[in-house]
Structures are given as structure tokens and as C-alpha cells.
Amino acid sequence: MATKLMLVFLLFLKHGFCAETKQAECNQDNNFCVSEKESAFERSHYKEMLKGEDLFGQIKHLDEDDLREIYRNTNPGSEVKQKQYFIPLGLTDTEKIASLAAASIGLVVFKSDQAILDFVQDNKNDVTHKMERFGYYAGRTGIAHLIAGSYLMGAIFDNGKLKDVGVLTLGSIVVSQTITEFFKVGFGRSRPRDADGDTYKFGTDGKSFFSGHSSGAFTAAAVLAEVYKDTPVPYIAYGLAGVVAYARVHEMGHYPSDVLYGAIAGILSANITMRAMRGDDSLGGIMVTPTYTPDPLTKDMTFNLNIKWEPKRPAPVVSCEDIEELGLSTRETVSNCMQKAWLLNN
């Protein structure tokens, strides 16, 4: 009852008095006035809810917005929230530094695109032609074979890592190639073989920036490097991805800066996608929450999309006394104890 009185009082302060006119209708105590345009819902719910209350003997008019406000305050559970979706866009410190460094190098390479391209073209031979053919295959068909073959072999031999390679590569490739296509269409850079010597020809129908073969190859390499870390696999994977990038410059399908930025995009796409597929939200990202709110007057559903940035969670500190029980290595022991000491003194 107190809540209802407070809501009516606030609305009274907001709108003041309303004059009695032939278009207004009042309740039995002559203390509450509503418009003739009110809906059946208003009559059955709000009029009944406020009926008989004394508002200092005054007549008060409520419009549709006022009624919606009362409904939202008296029905806080009316909003229907759907499943939340988290997009882990946070990067590790290593990824940030490496990306910044690579992007800076990319600017230098961008200024030297034509010179590097000419050098590659002037030094072609039988070996480089074979590398070109391999690179074209590995950057497209080879990735499809990797996805299908690794998952199939993993299922046959019950090898979890092989299945992870198939699933994670598929998800990461979808993300990286979507981003790549967005940049290709957005920048419209002409390919070297179509540019007529104009290295910086943008805004055309060309799709040179950045390389899809390069981004795809480095996406697959990043997945392999993550699944088989602490083995020679990462070195082999990134080496083969480098051959794909070289092949695209050799074939005059891309400039050097195209394949470099494609490599950066591929690695970042793979790392972010793998964290998303594994449910890792520790580095922060965007939380997307779709909601549906019923309109009390029209009964229509209003769709809203709430987007919120979730910051990086602080790393948990393991007590120095618990180190031995957890079986951590000497390096981890020192790291955890130093972190605890820093937190205690700051």
C-alpha cells in the first residue's frame, strides 16, 4: 500500500493537477481521473489498483507513459532475459605486445611493398614455384583436409587432441575468414597483378588487403601451436604458414603487408576463438544479453540488446603455505609468493 501511495504521489508532483473535463472519467471517490483513451488493460488493472485511495482530495490524470512506469515498478519481473553470450575480446600481455610490434613492422613493410614484391619476382626459380603451388593448396584445401582429417582420426583412435584440432580449427577459421572478408571488401585494395604499378590503389573491387590464405594458414598454425605446445609442432606449423604467405606474394596475389596483417589477424582470431569455445572469460570481453519486455498496454514485446564490457579478472593468488600441496613447480612457487607479497604491500 505504501508503495502505491508513493508512486501516485511522485506522479502527482511530476504532472500537477488535471482539470475535470468531459473527456476525463473519475472513480467513485472523485479522486482519480483517467483519459477516455485508456485501454481495457488500464481499466482492469490500474484503475482497480488505485481505486478508493485519497490523494489529498485532488483529481490526478495519468497518461499511458505514467501507467507503463507504474507497471514496471510494480512488476519488476516482467522483463524476460534470454541466454547471455560472452565474447572474450581480452588479450594476454604477450598478445598485446606482439600485435603492437607486428603492426608497427607492418607499417614499415607497407611503405616498402613494391620493393619487396619486386625482389621476390626477380628471384623466382623452380624451388619457389613449387613453394607457390604448395602454399596455394595449404592455404585453402589443406586447411579443410586438416579439419576433417584430424577430427576423423581423433574419433577413430580416441585421441582428444586430434579432435580438438579439428573442432577448434573449424571455429577459428570461420571467425578469421569472416573478419578477412570484411577487410577485403572494406579496403578494396587492388591485387599486385591488377594494380598496373599503383601499389596503394584502394577503393576498388580488388580484395588484396588482407590475405585470406595467410590469415587461414596462421589461424590453423595457432590452433596447432596451442594444442601441441611444448612440442616441435608449433615451429613446423608456423613455418608452413610462412610458406603460404610467401607463396601469395610470389604469385602476385598479395603485397607483403597484406600477408603480414593477415598473419596477425589469423593468430588473434584463433586465440580469441579458442578461449570462447573453451568458455575462458578470464581476460575480459563483451557480455551480450538479449531481453524481451512486454508492453502492458499493447501487449507487444519490446526487444532490447544489452551490451556490457566485462573487465579482466585478477589472477588468483595461491597461499605460499599451500604451494607444496598443489604440487607447483619452483618457478610457479616463486611467482605466486611474489604476487602475494606485492598484494599485501599495496
Helix, strand, coil percentages for the chain (3-state, nearest 5): 60, 10, 30
Identify the H or E element spanning 62.
strand 61-62
Over residues 233-286, the pLDDT tens digits come to 999 999 999 999 999 999 999 999 999 999 999 999 999 999 999 888 888 888
Q: What is the mean pLDDT of residues 91-96?
A: 88
Residues 337, 307: Cα–Cα separation, whole Å: 37
Q: Is residue 212 part of a domain?
A: yes
Residue pair 252/208 in contact (Cβ under 8 Å)? The answer is no
Q: Is residue 97 part of a domain?
A: no
Q: Are residues 224 and 271 in the same domain?
A: yes
Residue pair 109/257 in contact (Cβ under 8 Å)? The answer is yes
Number of domains in the chain: 3
Query: What's the pTM value of the predicted model, to 2 decimals?
Result: 0.67
Phi-psi region of 31 (alpha: psi -120 to 50; beta: other; left: phi over 0): alpha
| 71, pLDDT greater than 70 | no
**What is the DSSP secondary structure assignment for residue 194, as one 8-state letter?**
G
485511495: which residue's cell? 53
In the chain, the amino acid numbered 284 is: G
Q: Are residues 248 and 137 in the same domain?
A: yes
pLDDT on residue 220? 97
Residues 62, 24: Cα–Cα separation, whole Å: 11
Beta bridge partners of 308: 287
Q: Are residues 134 and 48 in the same domain?
A: no
213: domain CATH number is 1.10.606.20
In the chain, the amino acid numbered 261 is: Y
Q: Is residue 83 part of a domain?
A: no
Residue 326: domain span: 316-346
Domain termination residue (choose one: 277, 298, 333): 277
| 225, pLDDT greater than 70 | yes
Q: Is residue 236 part of a domain?
A: yes
Domain termination residue (choose one: 230, 262, 277): 277
Q: What is the mean pLDDT of residues 71-91?
A: 68
Q: Is residue 9 part of a domain?
A: yes
Q: Are residues 240 and 159 in the same domain?
A: yes
| 223, pLDDT greater than 70 | yes
Q: Are residues 237 and 139 in the same domain?
A: yes
Q: Is residue 287 part of a domain?
A: no
Q: Is residue 144 part of a domain?
A: yes
Residue of higher predicted confidence among 16 and 161: 161
pLDDT on residue 78? 54
Q: Share the mean pLDDT of the chain.
A: 78
Q: Is residue 7 part of a domain?
A: yes
Report the share of the chain in percent with pLDDT over 90.
48
Q: Are residues 121 and 269 in the same domain?
A: yes
pLDDT on residue 72? 62
pLDDT on residue 284? 85
Over residues 102-156, the pLDDT tens digits come to 989 999 999 999 999 999 999 999 999 999 999 999 998 999 999 999 999 999 9
Q: Are residues 116 and 255 in the same domain?
A: yes
Q: Are residues 43 and 151 in the same domain?
A: no
